[in-house]
Amino acid sequence: MKTLKLFFVAIILISGINLTAQISINTDGSDADPTSMLDIKSSDKGLLIPRMTTAEIEAIYLPADGLQVYNTDNGKLYIFVLGDFEWKEVSYTPGNIQPNATYTIGTGGSCDNTVVHGVYYVSVVLKSYNYVTIEVNVSTLGQYTLTTDTINGYSFYASGVFTTAGVQTVDLAGSGIPVAEQTDIFTVTANNNGGTCSFSVTTQVSATFLCGMDFLDPRDGQWYSTVEIGSQCWMAENMNIGVMIDKETGGYTNHQTDNGIIEKYCYDNIPDSCDVYGGFYQWNEMMQYVTIEGSQGICPTGWHIASDLEWCTLENEVDSGTVSCSTTGFRGTDVGGNLKEDGINHWNTPNTGATNSSGFSALGAGSATGYLFDFIGEHCSWWTSTEYNETRAYYRYLVNWSAQIGQGYYGTKTGGHNVRCLKN
């Protein structure tokens, strides 16, 4: 089949016959792709287009639109664009194809000169300083990949290019969250038959809370994820403490009251919605009937209701630009997108700019500012502990159609917003 097809192509090229049939050149006898006139397949050979000097290329008389050549003077590909009547360089990103390195890390024993960096705490996500250094012996330069299985909720990985032969060190970055307090033995596997070796990492339970750990609220036994953003430690979930009361009775708002019981609203008066989106609280209930900025309010001991300025600190840490703390309404560039959970599980499309790169994990919890609920999947908002006046207070809001964040004070303190607590 191969001989016949190559012979057929040769006859075509020599005779100059015009054909409308598709042509396939391969060793497996397969037909050409239905969208192509010429389909060439090979697992060990490439395609050579004409190779010419700059002078030879420029000497081509009236090149056809789309004609391609390789310039032997500068090692670049060019295509002729008839609309501009000029040869244009085919651009590509810097870099080249590297062969796999030949190296060894061992034959199953302990990795040579292992150094375990950082402390590994249960329930705390591994940071950039959690990595392991091992030695490798390189004989041929090239690419390398070192991997481990996931054990106890975390793993290690490294990849790159060896540029020097001999004994080298490689840093394997850790990722994941240790689940239990124990000693974990990891086996490192090298690509290109580079062997295996092992090292051990001991995890421990911290005697004190570290940001990034899950936090247990001792008042009701609920757990909250936490996240370190710049110099601040935030809860990565909305508060969900208290007893649910119906939002309205007979078309009128059923207010939360100073009765010694923390009360909350749940979206559409469905208790399970609070388990996902957290509760909605009126400002006075959230503050537990004090007006001091930065008060604990409904937050657990050691946490407080963030002030308007503390929210602005968060915004400037997360935004790619600078957020003006005095601007009311939408502000920033991408702070809202970087705070929002990505995807459309808890947001309606388009969920503009959502990356959750901050780990704040804002959900489209909706609104409870009137006597009804509204805008779930489109909007979310949080109170601050900063008053605007006696009847209003500042809050923050995100929407599904913008990557910015909004600062407002328009509604009264009787509106229901979500609450995020900030570590003292």
| Residues 209-268: tens digit of each pLDDT | 889 888 989 899 898 999 999 999 999 999 999 999 999 876 778 999 999 999 999 999
Burial track 31-65 (b if 16+ CB lie within 10 A, e otherwise): ebeeeeeebeeeeeeeeeeeebeeeebeeeeebee
Question: Are β-strands 195-204 and 183-190 bridged in parallel, bridged antiparallel, or unpaired?
Answer: antiparallel
Is the residue at 12 inside a domain? no
Examine the pLDDT at 18 and tell me if it is beyond 60. Answer: no
306 and 403 together in one domain: yes
HEC readout, 147-188: ECCCECCEEEEEEEEECCCEEEEEEEEEEECCCCCCEEEEEE
Lowest mean pLDDT among 61-65, 144-148, 388-392: 61-65
Sign of CA dihedral 232, 235, 237, 241: negative
Percent of the chain at pLDDT > 70 equals 93
Q: What is the mean pLDDT of the chain?
A: 90
Mean pLDDT, to the nearest integer, of 152-175? 96
The confidence score (pLDDT) of residue 184 equals 98
Is the residue at 24 inside a domain? yes
| Residues 36-83: tens digit of each pLDDT | 778 788 877 888 889 999 888 888 988 888 899 988 888 889 898 877
The confidence score (pLDDT) of residue 132 equals 98
173 and 259 together in one domain: no
The confidence score (pLDDT) of residue 96 equals 64
Could you count the other beta carbons within 10 Å of the beta carbon of residue 397? 20
Lowest mean pLDDT among 74-88, 180-194, 379-393, 408-422: 74-88
Examine the pLDDT at 7 and tell me if it is beyond 50. Answer: no
Could you count the other beta carbons within 10 Å of the beta carbon of residue 121? 19
User: Domain of 254?
Assistant: 215-423
172 and 234 together in one domain: no
Question: Are β-strands 393-399 and 379-387 bridged in parallel, bridged antiparallel, or unpaired?
Answer: antiparallel
Is the residue at 28 inside a domain? yes
Is the residue at 1 inside a domain? no
What total number of domains does the chain contain?
3
Q: How confident is the model at residue 95 (pLDDT cuts 50, 70, 90)?
A: low
The confidence score (pLDDT) of residue 64 equals 87
Question: Are β-strands 243-244 and 263-264 bridged in parallel, bridged antiparallel, or unpaired?
Answer: parallel
Helix (H) or strand (E) holding 143, with range, is strand 142-147
The confidence score (pLDDT) of residue 2 equals 44
Is the residue at 76 inside a domain? yes
Q: Which of 204, 231, 253 is a domain's end point?
A: 204
388 and 321 together in one domain: yes
Q: Which of 148, 178, 204 is a domain's end point?
A: 204
Q: How confident is the model at residue 183 (pLDDT cuts 50, 70, 90)?
A: very high
Percent of the chain at pLDDT > 90 equals 68
CB 375 within 8 A of CB 369: no
What CATH number should be reported for the domain holding residue 164? Answer: 2.60.40
Is the residue at 14 inside a domain? no
CB 132 within 8 A of CB 200: no
185 and 222 together in one domain: no
The confidence score (pLDDT) of residue 94 equals 61
Inter-CA distances, 161 with 141, 144, 176, Å: 7, 6, 25
Whole-number Å distance between alpha carbons of 26 and 306: 67
In the three-class reduction of DSSP (H, G, I as helix; E, B as strand; rest coil), residue 85 is classed as: coil
The answer to pTM > 0.75 is no
305 and 379 together in one domain: yes
Whole-number Å distance between alpha carbons of 265 and 278: 9
| Residues 267-291: tens digit of each pLDDT | 999 999 999 999 999 999 999 999 9
Q: Which of 136, 170, 204 is a domain's end point?
A: 204
130 and 244 together in one domain: no
The confidence score (pLDDT) of residue 14 equals 41
HEC readout, 194-212: CEEEEEEEEEECCCCCCEC
Is the residue at 302 inside a domain? yes
